[in-house]
Protein backbone atom coordinates (compact mmCIF):
# COMPACT_ATOMS: atom_id res chain seq x y z
CA UNK A 1 0.00 0.00 0.00
CA UNK A 2 1.24 3.49 -0.86
CA UNK A 3 0.31 6.53 1.18
CA UNK A 4 1.14 10.14 0.43
CA UNK A 5 1.63 12.55 3.31
CA UNK A 6 2.19 16.29 3.16
CA UNK A 7 3.73 18.39 5.92
CA UNK A 8 3.14 22.17 5.91
CA UNK A 9 5.54 24.97 6.80
CA UNK A 10 4.78 25.20 10.53
CA UNK A 11 5.14 21.42 10.89
CA UNK A 12 8.76 21.55 9.70
CA UNK A 13 9.63 25.03 11.00
CA UNK A 14 12.76 24.05 12.97
CA UNK A 15 15.10 21.12 13.65
CA UNK A 16 12.97 19.70 16.49
CA UNK A 17 9.84 19.71 14.34
CA UNK A 18 11.66 18.11 11.43
CA UNK A 19 12.80 15.33 13.78
CA UNK A 20 9.24 14.97 15.11
CA UNK A 21 7.87 14.66 11.55
CA UNK A 22 10.63 12.17 10.68
CA UNK A 23 9.42 9.95 13.53
CA UNK A 24 5.86 10.13 12.18
CA UNK A 25 7.01 9.25 8.68
CA UNK A 26 9.03 6.31 10.03
CA UNK A 27 5.93 5.05 11.86
CA UNK A 28 3.82 5.39 8.70
CA UNK A 29 6.42 3.43 6.76
CA UNK A 30 6.31 0.63 9.33
CA UNK A 31 2.50 0.53 9.18
CA UNK A 32 1.81 1.10 5.48
CA UNK A 33 4.87 -0.03 3.55
CA UNK A 34 5.44 2.66 0.97
CA UNK A 35 5.46 6.32 1.98
CA UNK A 36 5.86 9.42 -0.14
CA UNK A 37 6.06 12.64 1.90
CA UNK A 38 5.68 16.06 0.29
CA UNK A 39 7.35 18.91 2.17
CA UNK A 40 6.66 22.64 2.31
CA UNK A 41 9.31 25.25 2.99
CA UNK A 42 10.13 25.76 6.68
CA UNK A 43 8.02 28.35 8.56
CA UNK A 44 8.00 31.71 6.80
CA UNK A 45 10.77 30.79 4.35
CA UNK A 46 8.70 31.46 1.22
CA UNK A 47 7.68 34.92 2.48
CA UNK A 48 11.27 35.67 3.51
CA UNK A 49 12.64 34.66 0.12
CA UNK A 50 10.03 36.80 -1.58
CA UNK A 51 10.95 39.77 0.61
CA UNK A 52 14.60 39.22 -0.28
CA UNK A 53 13.77 39.42 -3.97
CA UNK A 54 11.89 42.67 -3.49
CA UNK A 55 14.86 44.13 -1.57
CA UNK A 56 16.87 43.67 -4.73
CA UNK A 57 14.31 44.70 -7.32
CA UNK A 58 10.91 46.38 -7.37
CA UNK A 59 9.88 44.19 -10.26
CA UNK A 60 11.81 40.92 -10.13
CA UNK A 61 11.68 38.60 -13.14
CA UNK A 62 8.98 35.98 -12.62
CA UNK A 63 11.29 33.22 -13.79
CA UNK A 64 13.98 34.17 -11.29
CA UNK A 65 11.40 34.59 -8.51
CA UNK A 66 10.29 30.97 -9.02
CA UNK A 67 13.88 29.80 -9.16
CA UNK A 68 14.38 31.46 -5.77
CA UNK A 69 11.11 30.49 -4.06
CA UNK A 70 11.40 26.82 -5.04
CA UNK A 71 14.60 26.50 -3.00
CA UNK A 72 12.61 26.57 0.27
CA UNK A 73 10.91 23.24 -0.44
CA UNK A 74 14.13 21.65 -1.65
CA UNK A 75 15.78 22.51 1.69
CA UNK A 76 12.96 20.86 3.66
CA UNK A 77 13.06 17.68 1.57
CA UNK A 78 16.83 17.29 1.98
CA UNK A 79 16.70 18.03 5.72
CA UNK A 80 13.92 15.48 6.18
CA UNK A 81 15.95 12.84 4.34
CA UNK A 82 18.87 13.49 6.73
CA UNK A 83 16.58 13.21 9.77
CA UNK A 84 15.25 9.86 8.49
CA UNK A 85 18.76 8.57 7.81
CA UNK A 86 19.56 9.29 11.45
CA UNK A 87 16.56 7.15 12.43
CA UNK A 88 18.05 4.30 10.41
CA UNK A 89 15.67 4.64 7.47
CA UNK A 90 16.48 4.59 3.80
CA UNK A 91 15.20 7.88 2.35
CA UNK A 92 15.78 10.04 -0.71
CA UNK A 93 14.75 13.62 -1.49
CA UNK A 94 13.65 14.58 -5.00
CA UNK A 95 12.79 17.92 -6.57
CA UNK A 96 10.33 18.39 -9.44
CA UNK A 97 12.99 18.19 -12.15
CA UNK A 98 14.36 14.97 -10.69
CA UNK A 99 11.14 12.96 -10.56
CA UNK A 100 9.33 14.77 -13.36
CA UNK A 101 6.47 17.03 -12.36
CA UNK A 102 5.78 18.82 -15.63
CA UNK A 103 3.88 22.08 -15.49
CA UNK A 104 2.72 24.90 -17.73
CA UNK A 105 5.10 27.83 -18.12
CA UNK A 106 3.34 30.59 -16.25
CA UNK A 107 5.70 31.35 -13.43
CA UNK A 108 4.09 31.88 -10.03
CA UNK A 109 0.88 30.07 -10.92
CA UNK A 110 1.87 27.15 -13.13
CA UNK A 111 -0.50 24.20 -13.55
CA UNK A 112 0.46 20.55 -13.39
CA UNK A 113 0.39 18.92 -16.84
CA UNK A 114 1.87 15.49 -16.19
CA UNK A 115 3.73 13.61 -13.49
CA UNK A 116 6.21 10.84 -14.18
CA UNK A 117 6.07 7.95 -11.74
CA UNK A 118 9.10 5.85 -12.75
CA UNK A 119 11.67 7.40 -10.44
CA UNK A 120 9.36 7.58 -7.42
CA UNK A 121 8.19 3.99 -7.92
CA UNK A 122 11.75 2.79 -8.37
CA UNK A 123 12.82 4.39 -5.07
CA UNK A 124 9.76 2.95 -3.31
CA UNK A 125 10.52 -0.51 -4.69
CA UNK A 126 14.05 -0.19 -3.36
CA UNK A 127 12.57 0.35 0.08
CA UNK A 128 13.25 4.08 0.35
CA UNK A 129 10.95 6.70 1.77
CA UNK A 130 10.54 9.35 -0.93
CA UNK A 131 10.66 13.00 0.13
CA UNK A 132 9.30 15.39 -2.44
CA UNK A 133 9.85 19.14 -2.68
CA UNK A 134 6.28 20.47 -2.96
CA UNK A 135 5.01 23.64 -4.67
CA UNK A 136 7.29 23.36 -7.73
CA UNK A 137 7.25 22.08 -11.28
CA UNK A 138 9.41 22.09 -14.35
CA UNK A 139 8.18 23.63 -17.61
CA UNK A 140 8.88 22.63 -21.20
CA UNK A 141 12.05 24.70 -21.25
CA UNK A 142 13.35 22.71 -18.28
CA UNK A 143 12.95 25.75 -16.01
CA UNK A 144 11.61 25.67 -12.47
CA UNK A 145 8.09 27.01 -11.90
CA UNK A 146 5.95 27.35 -8.78
CA UNK A 147 2.32 26.26 -8.62
CA UNK A 148 0.83 29.11 -6.54
CA UNK A 149 0.95 29.94 -2.84
CA UNK A 150 -0.10 27.01 -0.69
CA UNK A 151 0.25 24.58 -3.60
CA UNK A 152 2.28 21.88 -1.84
CA UNK A 153 -1.14 20.43 -0.99
CA UNK A 154 -1.77 20.16 -4.74
CA UNK A 155 1.60 18.46 -5.33
CA UNK A 156 0.62 15.88 -2.72
CA UNK A 157 -2.85 15.14 -4.08
CA UNK A 158 -1.58 14.97 -7.67
CA UNK A 159 1.08 12.47 -6.61
CA UNK A 160 -1.47 10.42 -4.68
CA UNK A 161 -3.62 10.31 -7.84
CA UNK A 162 -0.88 9.18 -10.24
CA UNK A 163 0.63 6.69 -7.78
CA UNK A 164 -2.77 5.19 -6.99
CA UNK A 165 -2.17 5.85 -3.29
CA UNK A 166 -4.58 4.54 -0.70
CA UNK A 167 -5.00 8.04 0.74
CA UNK A 168 -3.43 11.48 0.96
CA UNK A 169 -2.85 12.84 4.46
CA UNK A 170 -2.35 16.59 4.83
CA UNK A 171 -0.56 17.37 8.11
CA UNK A 172 -0.84 20.95 9.29
CA UNK A 173 -0.99 23.15 12.39
CA UNK A 174 -4.72 22.64 13.07
CA UNK A 175 -6.31 19.24 13.68
CA UNK A 176 -8.83 19.36 10.86
CA UNK A 177 -11.19 21.52 8.85
CA UNK A 178 -13.35 23.75 11.03
CA UNK A 179 -16.59 25.63 10.42
CA UNK A 180 -14.42 28.77 10.28
CA UNK A 181 -10.73 29.56 10.77
CA UNK A 182 -10.30 28.59 14.46
CA UNK A 183 -7.74 31.38 14.88
CA UNK A 184 -10.38 33.92 13.89
CA UNK A 185 -13.47 32.28 15.40
CA UNK A 186 -12.60 30.49 18.66
CA UNK A 187 -16.01 28.79 18.83
CA UNK A 188 -15.57 27.17 15.39
CA UNK A 189 -16.25 23.42 15.38
CA UNK A 190 -14.26 20.67 13.74
CA UNK A 191 -16.05 19.06 10.80
CA UNK A 192 -15.41 15.27 10.91
CA UNK A 193 -16.42 14.68 7.27
CA UNK A 194 -16.94 17.16 4.47
CA UNK A 195 -17.85 16.71 0.80
CA UNK A 196 -15.43 17.68 -1.96
CA UNK A 197 -17.91 20.30 -3.18
CA UNK A 198 -18.22 22.11 0.12
CA UNK A 199 -14.49 21.89 0.80
CA UNK A 200 -13.81 23.31 -2.65
CA UNK A 201 -16.06 26.29 -1.91
CA UNK A 202 -14.38 26.86 1.46
CA UNK A 203 -10.85 26.70 0.09
CA UNK A 204 -11.60 28.70 -3.06
CA UNK A 205 -13.04 31.44 -0.86
CA UNK A 206 -10.03 31.77 1.38
CA UNK A 207 -9.92 28.91 3.92
CA UNK A 208 -6.26 28.20 3.30
CA UNK A 209 -6.24 24.94 5.26
CA UNK A 210 -6.31 23.25 1.82
CA UNK A 211 -5.17 24.70 -1.51
CA UNK A 212 -8.27 24.88 -3.71
CA UNK A 213 -6.70 23.01 -6.62
CA UNK A 214 -5.79 20.13 -4.33
CA UNK A 215 -9.49 19.68 -3.56
CA UNK A 216 -10.40 19.92 -7.24
CA UNK A 217 -7.87 17.19 -8.08
CA UNK A 218 -8.93 15.00 -5.16
CA UNK A 219 -12.49 15.17 -6.42
CA UNK A 220 -11.54 14.51 -10.05
CA UNK A 221 -9.34 11.51 -9.27
CA UNK A 222 -11.28 10.32 -6.26
CA UNK A 223 -8.37 10.68 -3.84
CA UNK A 224 -9.34 10.18 -0.20
CA UNK A 225 -8.06 13.31 1.53
CA UNK A 226 -7.48 13.61 5.27
CA UNK A 227 -6.54 16.80 7.11
CA UNK A 228 -4.77 16.22 10.44
CA UNK A 229 -2.38 17.82 12.90
CA UNK A 230 1.33 16.99 12.75
CA UNK A 231 1.59 17.65 16.50
CA UNK A 232 -1.21 15.52 17.95
CA UNK A 233 -2.90 12.17 17.38
CA UNK A 234 -6.37 13.76 17.07
CA UNK A 235 -8.57 12.36 14.33
CA UNK A 236 -8.74 14.79 11.48
CA UNK A 237 -11.28 15.68 8.82
CA UNK A 238 -12.04 13.35 5.92
CA UNK A 239 -12.79 15.04 2.60
CA UNK A 240 -14.55 12.62 0.30
CA UNK A 241 -17.38 11.91 -2.05
CA UNK A 242 -19.76 10.22 0.32
CA UNK A 243 -20.02 12.93 2.91
CA UNK A 244 -22.87 15.17 1.92
CA UNK A 245 -23.84 17.61 4.61
CA UNK A 246 -27.31 18.17 3.25
CA UNK A 247 -28.70 18.82 6.69
CA UNK A 248 -26.54 21.85 7.14
CA UNK A 249 -27.92 25.25 6.29
CA UNK A 250 -24.45 26.74 6.49
CA UNK A 251 -21.36 24.55 6.44
CA UNK A 252 -18.69 27.15 6.92
CA UNK A 253 -17.39 30.69 6.85
CA UNK A 254 -14.24 31.70 4.99
CA UNK A 255 -12.30 34.94 5.11
CA UNK A 256 -9.90 35.96 2.37
CA UNK A 257 -7.81 39.02 3.20
CA UNK A 258 -5.60 38.77 0.15
CA UNK A 259 -7.93 41.12 -1.70
CA UNK A 260 -7.46 44.61 -3.17
CA UNK A 261 -10.25 46.76 -4.53
CA UNK A 262 -9.98 49.01 -7.57
CA UNK A 263 -12.61 51.61 -8.48
CA UNK A 264 -12.65 53.18 -11.92
CA UNK A 265 -14.62 56.36 -11.61
CA UNK A 266 -16.33 58.15 -14.49
CA UNK A 267 -16.37 55.67 -17.35
CA UNK A 268 -18.82 56.29 -20.21
CA UNK A 269 -22.27 54.75 -19.88
CA UNK A 270 -22.19 52.91 -23.20
CA UNK A 271 -21.82 49.34 -24.55
CA UNK A 272 -18.33 47.82 -24.61
CA UNK A 273 -16.78 49.62 -21.65
CA UNK A 274 -16.74 46.59 -19.32
CA UNK A 275 -15.34 44.50 -22.17
CA UNK A 276 -12.48 46.97 -22.72
CA UNK A 277 -11.59 47.06 -19.02
CA UNK A 278 -11.68 43.36 -18.33
CA UNK A 279 -10.14 42.23 -21.60
CA UNK A 280 -7.03 44.35 -21.06
CA UNK A 281 -6.69 42.87 -17.55
CA UNK A 282 -7.25 39.34 -18.89
CA UNK A 283 -4.47 39.87 -21.44
CA UNK A 284 -2.14 40.51 -18.51
CA UNK A 285 -3.45 37.30 -16.83
CA UNK A 286 -4.92 39.29 -13.94
CA UNK A 287 -7.94 37.51 -12.45
CA UNK A 288 -10.80 39.69 -11.36
CA UNK A 289 -13.22 38.56 -8.70
CA UNK A 290 -16.18 40.61 -7.43
CA UNK A 291 -17.46 43.27 -9.84
CA UNK A 292 -19.87 46.09 -9.08
CA UNK A 293 -21.13 48.72 -11.48
CA UNK A 294 -22.84 51.69 -9.93
CA UNK A 295 -24.87 54.24 -11.81
CA UNK A 296 -23.08 57.52 -11.76
CA UNK A 297 -24.08 61.00 -12.76
CA UNK A 298 -24.34 62.63 -16.19
CA UNK A 299 -24.06 59.50 -18.33
CA UNK A 300 -21.07 58.06 -16.54
CA UNK A 301 -20.66 54.96 -14.38
CA UNK A 302 -18.25 53.76 -11.74
CA UNK A 303 -16.95 50.20 -11.95
CA UNK A 304 -15.35 48.57 -8.92
CA UNK A 305 -13.77 45.13 -8.73
CA UNK A 306 -11.36 43.08 -6.68
CA UNK A 307 -8.02 41.45 -7.54
CA UNK A 308 -5.43 39.55 -5.49
CA UNK A 309 -3.14 41.95 -3.56
CA UNK A 310 -0.10 40.90 -5.57
CA UNK A 311 -1.83 41.95 -8.79
CA UNK A 312 -2.91 45.43 -7.63
CA UNK A 313 -0.05 47.52 -8.98
CA UNK A 314 0.08 45.60 -12.28
CA UNK A 315 -3.69 46.04 -12.70
CA UNK A 316 -3.52 49.80 -12.13
CA UNK A 317 -0.56 50.14 -14.50
CA UNK A 318 -2.45 48.20 -17.17
CA UNK A 319 -5.53 50.41 -16.78
CA UNK A 320 -3.38 53.54 -17.03
CA UNK A 321 -1.71 52.25 -20.18
CA UNK A 322 -5.16 51.75 -21.69
CA UNK A 323 -6.66 55.04 -20.52
CA UNK A 324 -7.28 56.35 -24.04
CA UNK A 325 -9.19 53.26 -25.07
CA UNK A 326 -11.23 52.91 -21.87
CA UNK A 327 -11.60 56.61 -21.00
CA UNK A 328 -12.06 57.18 -17.29
CA UNK A 329 -11.96 60.12 -14.94
CA UNK A 330 -9.86 58.69 -12.11
CA UNK A 331 -8.90 55.45 -10.38
CA UNK A 332 -9.10 54.74 -6.66
CA UNK A 333 -7.91 51.67 -4.79
CA UNK A 334 -7.87 50.01 -1.39
CA UNK A 335 -4.67 47.96 -0.84
CA UNK A 336 -6.18 45.34 1.42
CA UNK A 337 -9.79 44.53 2.14
CA UNK A 338 -11.49 41.34 3.40
CA UNK A 339 -13.90 39.10 1.55
CA UNK A 340 -16.03 37.15 3.98
CA UNK A 341 -18.05 34.27 2.55
CA UNK A 342 -20.77 32.13 4.05
CA UNK A 343 -21.08 28.72 2.39
CA UNK A 344 -23.79 26.08 2.62
CA UNK A 345 -25.74 23.79 0.37
CA UNK A 346 -28.91 24.48 2.37
CA UNK A 347 -28.92 28.11 1.26
CA UNK A 348 -30.30 27.36 -2.17
CA UNK A 349 -33.69 26.49 -0.73
CA UNK A 350 -33.69 28.85 2.25
CA UNK A 351 -34.19 32.48 1.37
CA UNK A 352 -33.69 33.61 4.97
CA UNK A 353 -29.93 33.05 4.96
CA UNK A 354 -28.95 36.32 3.28
CA UNK A 355 -30.97 38.42 5.66
CA UNK A 356 -29.51 36.52 8.64
CA UNK A 357 -26.00 37.31 7.38
CA UNK A 358 -26.82 41.00 7.00
CA UNK A 359 -28.47 41.06 10.42
CA UNK A 360 -25.38 39.50 12.02
CA UNK A 361 -23.22 42.19 10.40
CA UNK A 362 -25.61 44.95 11.51
CA UNK A 363 -25.55 43.55 15.07
CA UNK A 364 -21.83 44.29 15.32
CA UNK A 365 -21.94 47.48 13.26
CA UNK A 366 -19.98 46.25 10.23
CA UNK A 367 -20.32 48.20 7.01
CA UNK A 368 -20.52 46.26 3.70
CA UNK A 369 -18.71 47.56 0.60
CA UNK A 370 -19.86 44.98 -1.93
CA UNK A 371 -22.07 41.89 -2.01
CA UNK A 372 -22.10 38.91 -4.34
CA UNK A 373 -24.08 35.70 -4.16
CA UNK A 374 -24.37 32.29 -5.77
CA UNK A 375 -26.72 29.39 -5.07
CA UNK A 376 -24.70 28.15 -2.14
CA UNK A 377 -22.69 31.18 -1.06
CA UNK A 378 -22.92 34.80 0.01
CA UNK A 379 -19.79 36.96 -0.03
CA UNK A 380 -19.40 40.45 1.38
CA UNK A 381 -16.48 42.82 1.10
CA UNK A 382 -15.69 44.48 4.44
CA UNK A 383 -12.79 46.32 6.10
CA UNK A 384 -9.98 44.03 7.26
CA UNK A 385 -10.25 45.24 10.84
CA UNK A 386 -13.95 44.22 10.89
CA UNK A 387 -13.34 40.65 9.66
CA UNK A 388 -12.89 38.95 13.01
CA UNK A 389 -15.91 40.65 14.59
CA UNK A 390 -18.04 39.90 11.54
CA UNK A 391 -17.01 36.24 11.29
CA UNK A 392 -17.74 35.62 14.98
CA UNK A 393 -21.13 37.31 14.82
CA UNK A 394 -22.20 35.33 11.72
CA UNK A 395 -20.82 32.10 13.17
CA UNK A 396 -22.82 32.56 16.35
CA UNK A 397 -26.04 33.26 14.45
CA UNK A 398 -25.65 30.19 12.26
CA UNK A 399 -24.70 27.85 15.07
CA UNK A 400 -28.21 28.29 16.45
CA UNK A 401 -29.93 28.40 13.06
CA UNK A 402 -28.17 25.20 11.95
CA UNK A 403 -29.38 23.39 15.04
CA UNK A 404 -32.98 24.49 14.39
CA UNK A 405 -32.70 23.56 10.72
CA UNK A 406 -31.21 20.13 11.31
CA UNK A 407 -33.72 19.42 14.05
P1 LIG B 1 0.35 24.63 6.16
O2 LIG B 1 1.58 25.45 6.32
O3 LIG B 1 0.35 23.40 7.00
O4 LIG B 1 0.00 24.36 4.74
P5 LIG B 1 -1.65 26.72 6.24
O6 LIG B 1 -1.29 27.93 7.03
O7 LIG B 1 -1.54 26.79 4.77
O8 LIG B 1 -0.82 25.49 6.81
O9 LIG B 1 -3.14 26.26 6.60
C10 LIG B 1 -3.51 26.02 7.92
C11 LIG B 1 -4.22 27.25 8.50
O12 LIG B 1 -5.46 27.43 7.83
C13 LIG B 1 -4.62 27.12 9.94
O14 LIG B 1 -3.57 27.50 10.79
C15 LIG B 1 -5.84 28.04 10.06
O16 LIG B 1 -5.51 29.27 10.65
C17 LIG B 1 -6.25 28.28 8.61
N18 LIG B 1 -7.66 28.03 8.34
C19 LIG B 1 -8.46 28.85 7.61
N20 LIG B 1 -9.70 28.36 7.54
C21 LIG B 1 -9.72 27.19 8.21
C22 LIG B 1 -10.73 26.22 8.47
N23 LIG B 1 -11.98 26.35 8.01
N24 LIG B 1 -10.39 25.13 9.20
C25 LIG B 1 -9.12 24.97 9.66
N26 LIG B 1 -8.13 25.87 9.45
C27 LIG B 1 -8.41 26.97 8.73
N1 LIG C 1 5.83 27.23 0.65
C2 LIG C 1 4.77 27.56 -0.27
C3 LIG C 1 3.97 28.73 0.27
O4 LIG C 1 4.26 29.23 1.34
C5 LIG C 1 3.91 26.40 -0.63
C6 LIG C 1 3.19 25.72 0.51
O7 LIG C 1 3.54 25.91 1.66
O8 LIG C 1 2.26 24.97 0.22
O9 LIG C 1 3.06 29.17 -0.36
MG1 LIG D 1 -0.97 25.46 3.26
Residue 198: predicted pLDDT: 86
Q: How many CA atoms lie within 13 A of 307 on its CB side?
A: 22
Measured from CB, residues less than 6 Å from any atom of ligand 2 are 8-9, 40-41, 46, 72, 134-135, 149-152
* Cβ-based burial of 366 (10 A; exposed 0-12, middle 13-18, buried ≥19): buried
pLDDT of 249 reads: 73
Q: How confident is the model at residue 352 (pLDDT cuts 50, 70, 90)?
A: confident
Q: How far is CA 383 from CA 264, 275, 365, 387, in A?
A: 19, 28, 12, 7
CA distances, 226 to each of 88, 167, 177, 250, 371 (Å): 28, 8, 9, 21, 33
From the alpha carbon of 227, which atom of ligand 1 is closest? 25
pLDDT of residue 403: 52
66-106 pLDDT, tens per residue? 999 999 999 999 999 999 999 999 999 999 999 999 999 99
Which one of the ligands is nearest to 70 CA? 2
Give every CB contact of residue 153 below 8 A, 6+ residues apart in sequence.
Answer: 6, 134, 170, 210, 211, 214
Residue 219 has pLDDT above 80, yes or no: yes
Q: Indicate whether 349 pLDDT > 80.
A: no
Q: Kindly give the distance from the C-alpha atom of residue 288 to the centroid of ligand 3, in angstroms, as a whole number.
A: 23
For residue 173, with 0-12 CB atoms within 10 Å meaning exposed, 13-18 middle and 19 or more buried, which class applies?
A: middle
Which of 46, 175, 208, when mutated, tests ligand 1's pocket best, judged by the most ligand atoms within 8 Å of its CB? Answer: 208
pTM of the full predicted structure? 0.92
Percent of the chain with pLDDT over 90: 84
pLDDT of res. 147: 98
pLDDT in tens, 277-303: 999 999 998 999 999 988 777 788 999
Q: Residues with Cβ within 6 A of ligand 1?
A: 8-11, 40, 150, 172-174, 177-178, 180-183, 202, 207-209, 252
Q: What is the pLDDT of residue 295?
A: 78
CB distance 360 to 394 below 8 Å: yes
Domains defined for the chain, CATH in brackets: 2-239 (3.40.1160.10), 247-407 (3.30.2130.10)
Give percent above pLDDT 70 in the chain.
Answer: 96
- The rounded mean pLDDT for the chain is 93
Ligand 2 atom at minimal distance to the Cα of residue 47: 4
Ligand 2 centroid to residue 150 C-alpha, Å: 4
- Per residue in 35-74, pLDDT (tens digit) is 999 999 999 999 999 999 999 998 899 999 999 999 999 9
Of 160, 133, 146, nearest to 220 by C-alpha is: 160
Ligand approaching nearest to the C-alpha of 147: 2
SS3 of residue 286 by DSSP: coil
Amino acid sequence: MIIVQKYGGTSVADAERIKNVARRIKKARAECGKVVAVLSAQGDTTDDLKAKAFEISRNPSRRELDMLLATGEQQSAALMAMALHDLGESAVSLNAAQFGLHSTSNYGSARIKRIETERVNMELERGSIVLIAGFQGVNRYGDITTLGRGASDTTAVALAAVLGADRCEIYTDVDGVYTADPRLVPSARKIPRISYEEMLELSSLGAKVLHNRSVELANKYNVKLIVRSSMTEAEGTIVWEGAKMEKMLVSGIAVDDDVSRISIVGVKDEPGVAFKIFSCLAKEKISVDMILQSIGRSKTNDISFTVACDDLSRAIETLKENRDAISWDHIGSIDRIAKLSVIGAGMATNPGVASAVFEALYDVDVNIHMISTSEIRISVLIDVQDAKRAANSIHEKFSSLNVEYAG
